[in-house]
Every structure is written in C-alpha cells, then in structure tokens.
Structure 1
Amino acid sequence: MKGLFLGLTTIDIHHIVDQFPRPDNKVKSHDAPDILIGGPATNAAVTYSHLGGRAHLVSAFGQNIFNSFLQEDLRKFNIEHHDLAAHREEKPVITSVVTTSENGDRTIFTNQPAEYDVSFDSRGLMEENQFDFVLLDGFYMQKAHEVACEARRRDIPVILDGGSWKDGIERLLPHVNYAICSEKFMPPWCSGKKELFSYLSEKGIRHMAITRGGKPILYKDGFDVVELPVPEVKPVDTLGAGDIFHGAFAYYLNRFHDFVPALEKAAEVAAHSCQFAGTRVWMQ
C-alpha cells in the first residue's frame, strides 16, 4: 500500500511544563525541549509508514541547517520525499509548542509557510508510482489542487485533512472522496456542524467526519449524523494527535476498504499516542 502525502513539514520545538505561564512570568520546562519533525501531512506520512504502509511525501523545506535532520528522520521511516523548495535557501517553518503536564493541552506558535511557484509534475509522479490514495492537508493550495485533479482523473481516492478552513480550499472539495475535519474546520458561511455536513455533501463528498478531541466523532451516514465513541484515556500530550489520526485512517481505510472501521481504528491509534509526550514516543 503506497500513499501520496502533500502538505506541511515543520520543525517543532516542544516544551512540557507544569502549567502555562501567567503574563510577564517565566516557567521552566521539565527537561530540555524536544526538536521534532512535524506538520500535518508529515506526521500523517510517518504514522502511515510506522503502521506498515509506504509513504511518499511532497512538502517544501529548502536548504537550511535542519535539512540533514529532516532527511535522517524520513529515512528512519523509509519515506520518499519530494521537496518543493529543494534548490532554495529557505528558513523552515518553526513551530514552538508548549504542553502542560496537567492535562496534555498545548499552545502553539508558528509562522505561515510561503507558497512556492515552482513546476511540479504531478502527472509524472503518479505515472511513476501506483498510489492507492492521496492525502492533502490544505497547505500549498495550488500544488494540492493540481494533485487532486490528477488523482481524480486517475480515480485515486483523495483524503482531506481538514484541520482548519484555508483560503481556496473550496476548489479542492469537489475532488475529495473522504473529508476528515476538526471542529475548527468551518467555512465562513457555515454556522454549525449540520451546515458543514450539508455543504460538504453539496460538493459531492460522500464520506465525511468531524473529530472533536476526546468527544465522540461525528460522521455522516446517509442522511443521518452518527456519533462514534472514542477511547477514554488520560492524555499526557495531544500534540499531533489529529495528524496521527489521519495517517492511521489512511492506513486502515486501505486495509478494510470500509469508512467506519477505519475511523474506529484511527481513533484507537490517536488515543494511544496521547498517552505519550511528543509525536514519536508512542511508536516505541
């Protein structure tokens, strides 16, 4: 099983503290911060590879002091990488994450990735590889749209990681087969989950779900919205849980070829990951 993942790659600097600081206060983290490779599509690709799939990641990283760190991390998981900024000196997208050990909640500071006006031969990539699906996280919208159109032409399923609403994402939706959205994914003209489900249905998406952290997943089954319970765990860290969910969903969808069982298994994997700090320790 081989999947194409297109989207964001970041450098995550991750602190764990007892509690978030008040204004004009300084707190010390438990240990030295972890430096991790992150980003929605990247974490999903790593999860998919860890579970047993073959992943091909398309993202923009560029030439910088973290490049060898990125390549080594991807090699560990046998992930092929196409860098949209391969020949440019670029600063990476840096994400600073502070997690409280009290309940696993986190605060994230990050910068917006640049769009890259580079030629990308999506048709050639798909001719060279037999991808079972494409997963898009909504970043690099022009390239995502190209890939989604080519996937649609080849009858390759497209999975959308709808973490948040992004400008231009409405162009992607007619090419999406599976939309897995967070509660924060809300078009400006929709005022609630019922309207969101209706809007996605109007775009031709048959399989859709909304993840809500520790609350039951909502998914559309015909005309009905159904609740799917998720495992109850005491979270240590929720960093990357949504990304891990999407990678696991892609893996089990290709194993079971059944939407709801894939959601159930993905929820199990994501809940398990929340019992460990960071986005990699759960794999050990």
Structure 2
Amino acid sequence: MIVVFGSVALDLVTNVPRIPSPGESLTCPDYSLVPGSKGGNQALAAARSGAKVVHVATVGRDEHAGLATALLKAEGVDLSHLARSERTTGLCLVTVAADGENTVIAAAGANLDTRVAQLETLAFGEGDTLVFQMEVALPENFAAVALARRRGARTVLNAAPAQRVPEETLRALDVLVVNEHEAMIVAEAAGLSVSGPSEAAERLHRAYGCSTIVTLGPKGAKAWHDGALLEIPAPKIVPVDTTSAGDSFVGAFAAALDGGSDFPTAVKRGVVAGSLACTLPGAQTSIPRLADILSFSTDF
C-alpha cells in the first residue's frame, strides 16, 4: 500500500507563447480548471501504476473540492482520510509556454490544515510506502515522516517546493527525490558545500544514508543508492507540457518499489513516466498508466 500525505488542489492553467518576464503582461485565449497539486498528482500517478493508494489530505468546503478530487475518486484512490477545512481548497496557478516549460504558483489554502493526526488513525507499517512532498505545513509534514519511520514503513520525500529539510528528517528517509534546483537548496540548507546537483545528491546520500535521486528533465535521472551512482537516460519525446513530469516520476517510482521492483527498475519506470507525462497537456490528465510505461520502457 502507498500512503500519500500531502496536498490537494485545483489547477488554473493558462497557455501562453512564452513565460512572461517580470512586469510583463500577456494574454491568452482561454484557461482551464483541472485537478492538480503535487500530492494529488503523485497519488494518481501511483494508482495508475497499479498501486493501492490512500491519500491523506485536506480540502475546503467549496465547489473546488469536488473538482480537485474527481480524478482521484475515479481511479479508486482511497479518500477516507480526507479532512475538510474552513479555508478554501488549494489552487495552483499554472502558466504553460509553447515549448512545454511551465511556471507554478501554489496557493496552499486548506492544505495548511492537514495534520499528522489524520495519519495516526490509519493502519500502516512495514511493507507500506509513505510518500511526502512540501505543500502542507512543514512541522506536520516532518512529524508524519517521523511517524512513518517509527512504524517501519518506507519513506519517500519529494522535497518540492524546495525548502530546508531538517537533518533528523533526512536521516529518517529511505528515498529523497529532488530536481536540480531542489538538490542544491536542500544540500546547502543542510550545511553541505556543493558545486552542482550531482555532487549535492552524493553528499546528501553519504551524509544521511538516504537514497537520493536527482531528476534531470530530458536527461533522465541520477541516483545515489547503496553507495553507488546510477544513471538512467530519458527516452526521446516531443514535449507538450512538463507540468506533472516530476510528480509522474515520483508516483510511478514509488509504485514500482511498493510492488517489489528493485531500485534501478523503479527509477527507470519513474523516468519513463515523467517523460510520457510531457507528451500530453494538463497535470493529472497527462499522467501515464502502467501499461504505457512498461511498453515504452523496452524502447530505449
């Protein structure tokens, strides 16, 4: 079983010719409202990769709550530990450029009311995988990591959006997943002097013992695991929208580990899932299914 302790939000997506510069105004013909957030995306990605998934999160009492959780419900994600808040449901403002690159501003809303107490009532332990991001109140997030560690569950933290991760949390992790930008922030906040993302991943792995993965977009991923470097290239694709690439990686990777795959296989599935997510528009609408991941995995 995979338990995602994290965010739920609705994405307001605009498509523009390019990412605007500071102070610049751009127009676009339309916008869309689609389910999103890192927690929701990763829960859906894990479910589409064949895992049994429970999502522990919080939404508001507004009309956005149903829209934000619609695809999770449709894919069979267990939402019985979803709480309600007087705050509004989280909202992500997503700008997608013609070349597929994007910017995201996440308005936390009800996600700030997610509490580790919601997780304490859930029966989980050894053999289960807990997945975390950084879009809920951080003290609750780090307390949830510690709870998962005490119960003997596998712990996977996607340190995004990038912020400081306490050393005790890093030591409690089995796997840390970061992109190049996040790798530098987490390493430097931990007091490590590093010259680049690859060195940051190695130093974090050696200092805290957690397997550390750096996602590299079209270059695939590098991972430090059991003291050794693993490099997985990405398949060649034509990007349309990169919005959920990282979340697709995390969900597919966690599902593979939870299903008994070895670490290199899990990383490869994550890389393929992230690449496939870039070939379709939208966040949750672009997240691939296991059959497509497995089919594509044999082609590179």
TM-score range, shorter chain: 0.7 to 0.9
Counterpart residue number, 1:156? 153
CA distance in structure 2 between the partners assigned to 1:57 and 1:214 by the alignment? 29
Determine if contact 1:161/1:179 at 8 Å carries over to the other structure.
yes
**Aligned-partner SS, 1:122:** helix
1:29-48 to 2 correspondences below 5 Å: 29=29, 32-48=30-46
Q: 3-state SS of the aligned residue for 2:158?
A: strand
Deviations 1:133-172 (A, max 9, x none): 1001133323323322222222210011122432454342
**Cα distance change on mapping 1:198 and 1:96 into 2, 3 Å:** same
1:197 to 188, 198, 202: 202
Conserved? CA contact 1:45–1:247, under 8 Å: yes
Q: Deviations for 1:102-135, whole angstroms, at most 9, x for unmatched residues?
A: x1011223335563385715333125x8862100
- Of residues 118-127 and 170-179 in structure 1, the stretch that sits farther from structure 2 once superposed is 118-127
The answer to whether the 8 A contact 2:128-2:154 is kept is yes
Deviations 1:45-95 (CA, angstroms, capped at 9, x unpaired): 0011122212111122221221222343321111122234x1x32122221
Displacement of 1:222? 4.4
Q: 2: distance between equivalents of 1:225 and 1:247? A: 22
Q: Which amino acid aligns with 1:156?
A: A
What is aligned with 1:17?
16
Q: Normalising to structure 2: TM-score of the pair?
A: 0.82
Percent of counterpart pairs with the same letter?
19
CA–CA distance in structure 1, aligned partners of residues 220 and 251 of structure 2: 19
Do the aligned partners of 2:54 and 2:77 also contact (CA within 8 Å) in 1? yes
Residues 1:279 and 2:283 aligned together: yes
Quickly say closer, same or farther: Cα 1:110–1:165, change in 2 above 3 A. closer
Q: Given that residues 127 and 154 in structure 2 are in contact (C-alpha distance below 8 angstroms), is that contact kept between their aligned partners in structure 1?
A: no
Specify whether residues 133 and 226 from structure 1 end up closer, same or farther in structure 2 by C-alpha distance, changes over 3 A only: closer
**Counterpart residue identity of residue 268, structure 2:** E
Structure 1's unaligned 5+ residue stretches are none
Q: Is the 8 A contact 2:112 2:137 kept in 1?
A: yes
Counterpart contact for 1:64–1:92, Cα < 8 Å: yes
2:297 corresponds to: none
The runs of 5 or more residues in structure 2 that have no matched partner are 290-300
In the alignment, which residue of structure 2 is the partner of 1:28? 28
Which of 106, 122, 145 lines up with 2:102 in the alignment?
A: 106
Q: For residue 34 of structure 1, report the CA deviation from its aligned partner.
A: 2.1
Distance change >3 Å, CA 219–CA 208, structure 1 → 2: same
2:181 is aligned, of 180, 184, 188, to 184
Alignment CA distance shift 1:178-1:106 (3 Å): same
Counterpart of 1:242?
A: 246
Distance change in 2, residues 1:8/1:171 (3 Å): farther
The match for 1:132 is 128
Q: Is the 8 A contact 1:164 1:184 kept in 2?
A: no
CA distance in 1, matches of 2:105, 2:114: 26
Q: Please give the root-mean-square deviation of Cα atoms over the aligned residues, in Å.
A: 2.5
> Which stretch has the larger CA shift, 161-170 or 49-58?
161-170
Q: Is the 8 A contact 2:158 2:250 kept in 1?
A: yes
| Counterpart code for 1:203 | Y
Q: What is the match of residue 71 of structure 2? A: 73
Read off the aligned partner of 1:61 and give its amino acid letter: V
Partner of 2:7: helix, strand, or coil?
Answer: coil
Alpha-carbon offset, residue 228 of structure 1: 1.9
Any conservation in 2 of the 1:183–1:211 contact (CA below 8 Å)?
A: yes
CA shift for structure 1 position 21: 4.7
Q: What one-letter code is carried by the residue in structure 1 that aligns with 2:254?
A: A
Aligned length: 276
The aligned residue for residue 145 of structure 1 is: 142
- What SS does the aligned partner of 1:172 have? helix
CA shift in 2, pair 1:178/1:18, >3 Å: same
Q: Go from structure 1 to structure 2 and tell me whether the alpha carbon gap of 1:119 and 1:39 turns closer, same or farther (over 3 Å shift).
A: closer
Q: Does the 8 Å CA contact 1:163/1:184 hold for their aligned counterparts?
A: no
Change (3 A) 1:229 1:72: closer
Whether contact under 8 Å (2:146, 2:172) holds in the other structure is yes
Task: Give 2:104's aligned amino acid.
Answer: I
CA distance in structure 2 between the partners assigned to 1:112 and 1:28 by the alignment: 25
Q: Secondary structure at the match of 1:197?
A: helix
In the aligned structure 2, how far is the partner of 1:28 from the partner of 1:240?
21
